Amino acid sequence: MNTNTLNNTESTKKTGYFGIYGGMFVPPALEPKLNKLSEVFEQLKNNLHFVKEFHYYLNQYVGRPSPLSFAPRLSEYVGSRIYLKREDLNHTGAHKINNTIGQILVAKFMGAKEIIAETGAGQHGVATATAAAMFGMKCKIFMGQKDAERQQLNEYRIKLLGAEFITTNRGTGTLKDAVDAALEYFIENPDSFYIIGSVVGPHPYPSMVRFFQSVIGTESRKQIIEQEGKLPDSIFACVGGGSNAIGLFSGFLEDENVKIFAAEGGGEGLYPGRTAATLEMGKQMVYQGTYSYCMADENGNPIDTYSIAAGLDYPGVGPEHAFLKDVKRAEYHCITDNEAIESFKLLSVLEGIIPAIESSHAVALAVKLLKNKNALSIINLSGRGDKDVDRKLI
């Protein structure tokens, strides 16, 4: 595709659309709240004082810029030159803190007293609770019961940070159910400030989260040029809702020679109910406030998904990813649980880096596509694997 297509889409973001995807499909009670949030965000993102404050906390609290580390043994094993964007080294251990710092500054500006959030793998919940503690705000974190059972370390961290931890037993007890619970609370308590953790949900969330996570792509582009003197041939990230991926991709979308690849949570393969590969198997529809792709049955009803990675186990996907898929600017591939587990072990043994099981999907896709290609590539290591170690994945 040409960059004009992407540039044309840039002009539509203020209205909440990426091509045909996006929008604000919410109950009337939420529309004034979200319209106000959109108005405030548009002002703040162009406010030099706000942007400076955001980057102050990224530098002094989060620990940015995160390194872009050459992976020598992985590179030798694969037969390509591979760099890892080390979001796992951020405070709290993942990319999620970039967005929660940004959104809580918006909440602070708007005079919010209570913060709420959903979480799947727990990293967004930890990052939200962390930011709320730093600014002295009340905080509620919603998590599905199944996810809470497989992410007990993050449940403990959330509670330790002073947040109220609320589990939901509805549905499959995973991320989609946590989002539903948080949205219901938000509708009933409109004075709360909802920090959505990914590039999903109604406008302005996909654009707002993208803005705060774009630091990943901005840094990566600068770092690879400094270290290699050129742009990469390809970049890789995992996708559930898709915030770490959009963060990385945003720095390279207009570079036509940089190929963009994303790994979805493939679960047990491309079987309905046993996968979370939304962009390979989903349908175009409205889901949880936005128009995008969603895993659904023949009647258009959302269906259960499955992935070993709680952060990827979500039936929807961000609207910008839907757009990038349709215009063929990015390729989305199914990575199974077994492939992710193998890469979880592989990176640990070869580089002494234990990745989150979510990030392991991106590593697996890179290993598969880069074998003996002699390509220069970046993998976004979106989080560290401490939270997954006690799951006995080896």
Same fold, 27-57+96-205 and 63-94+214-389: yes
Instruction: Tell me how far apart the alpha carbons of residues 35 and 28 are, in angstroms, rounded to a whole number.
Output: 11
pLDDT at 42: 97
**Which residue in the block uniquely carries the two structure tokens 């706000």?**
50
Question: Which residue is catalytic, options 96, 176, 259, 387?
Answer: 96
Report yes or no: 84 and 377 within 8 Å, Cβ to Cβ.
no
**Residue 283 annotated as catalytic:** no
CATH number given to 27-57+96-205: 3.40.50.1100
What are the structural domain ranges in the chain? 27-57+96-205, 63-94+214-389
Question: Which residue is catalytic, options 118, 155, 264, 339?
Answer: 118
What 3-state class would DSSP assign to 237? strand
Instruction: Tell me how far apart the alpha carbons of residues 347 and 166 are, in angstroms, rounded to a whole number.
Output: 34
Report yes or no: 240 and 198 within 8 Å, Cβ to Cβ.
yes
Tell me how far CA of residue 276 lies from CA of 91, 215, 313, in angstroms: 28, 27, 6
- Reported as a single tens digit per residue, the pLDDT across 256-277 is 999 999 999 999 999 999 999 9
Question: Which residue is catalytic, options 38, 198, 360, 382?
Answer: 382
Q: Looking at domain 63-94+214-389, does it have CATH number 3.40.109.10? A: no
Instruction: Tell me how far apart the alpha carbons of residues 94 and 25 are, in angstroms, rounded to a whole number.
Output: 30
Q: What is the pLDDT along the chain (394 residues), one digit of tens a residue?
A: 443 445 434 434 448 999 999 999 999 989 999 999 999 999 999 999 999 999 999 999 999 999 999 999 999 999 999 999 999 999 999 999 999 999 999 999 999 999 999 999 899 999 999 999 999 999 999 999 999 998 899 999 999 999 999 999 999 999 999 999 999 999 999 889 999 999 999 999 999 999 999 999 999 999 999 999 999 999 999 999 999 999 999 999 999 999 999 999 999 999 999 999 999 999 999 999 999 999 999 999 999 999 999 999 999 999 999 999 999 999 999 999 999 999 999 999 999 999 999 999 999 999 999 999 999 999 999 999 999 988 767 6
Instruction: Tell me how far apart the alpha carbons of residues 204 and 282 are, in angstroms, rounded to a whole number.
Output: 23
DSSP code for 79: T
**Residue 230 annotated as catalytic:** no
Give the contacts of 15 (CB within 8 A, at least 6 positions apart). 203
pLDDT at 394: 65
**Which residue in the block uniquely carries the two structure tokens 């609770």?**
129
**Amino acid code (one letter) for 227:** Q
**Residue 96 annotated as catalytic:** yes
DSSP code string of 358-376:
HHHHHHHHHHHHHTT---E
